[in-house]
Amino acid sequence: MSEAEAEIAGVMKKAGLVWLSWDGRRPAPAWFATVDGAYVVLADGSDGDEQPLPGLAEAGAAEVVVPAKPATSRLASWKASVRRLEPGSDEWTAAAQVLRTERLNASNLDDQLERWEASADLLVLEPTGEITEAAGRYDERERAETPPGSPATTKGKRPFTLHRRSKRRPKLS
């Protein structure tokens, strides 16, 4: 194992989630699992039930950002090549079994592997050996971005809450 691979393995042990960036897109969060030393993500290219990472399977390369636990900073950032596992292969089955145990809040566990085989991609993130950021080696790039548009709103009357004291006091006569 090279020095870069050992450093990547060390920071990946501390992460339960990474941020992936590919083809100039804004970074997207992705949960992953470590399978026999490889980092595997489940990517749903459509608007399915799994994590939407459209185009990642075809990208061929991605930048992986490993956040620190308080999620206000980053531990490291590294370049990865992206390889799609062939559904039904032994490697795909082994990775799917590990991902299945790592998947939180999964629905329809009975047919989960069949759904993944039909509509999602299992992708291996293979380190290229290029670590772009690590402790003591962060770039000064501005990372603030405008939030993406959303139909969500906070306008309107505040909801009624039980057991809250009223600001008005009853008048004493």
Higher pLDDT, 117 or 142: 117
pLDDT of the residue at 47: 61
Written as one letter, the residue type at 115 is: R
DSSP 156: S
Question: Residue 50: CB partners within 8 Å, gap ≥ 6?
Answer: 42, 43, 44, 116, 119, 120
Instruction: Provide the residue range defining the domain that includes 95.
Output: 3-133
| Domain tally, the chain | 1
Cα distance between residue 114 and residue 128, in whole Å? 31
Q: Is residue 122, in this structure, part of any structural domain at all?
A: yes
Q: Is residue 72, in this structure, part of any structural domain at all?
A: yes
pLDDT grade for 48, boundaries at 50, 70 and 90: low
pLDDT of the residue at 45: 67
**Mean pLDDT over each residue of the chain, to the nearest integer:** 83
Q: Is residue 141, in this structure, part of any structural domain at all?
A: no
Residue 39, domain CATH: 2.30.110.10
Q: Is residue 125, in this structure, part of any structural domain at all?
A: yes
Strands 61-67 and 74-84: antiparallel
Q: Is residue 85, in this structure, part of any structural domain at all?
A: yes
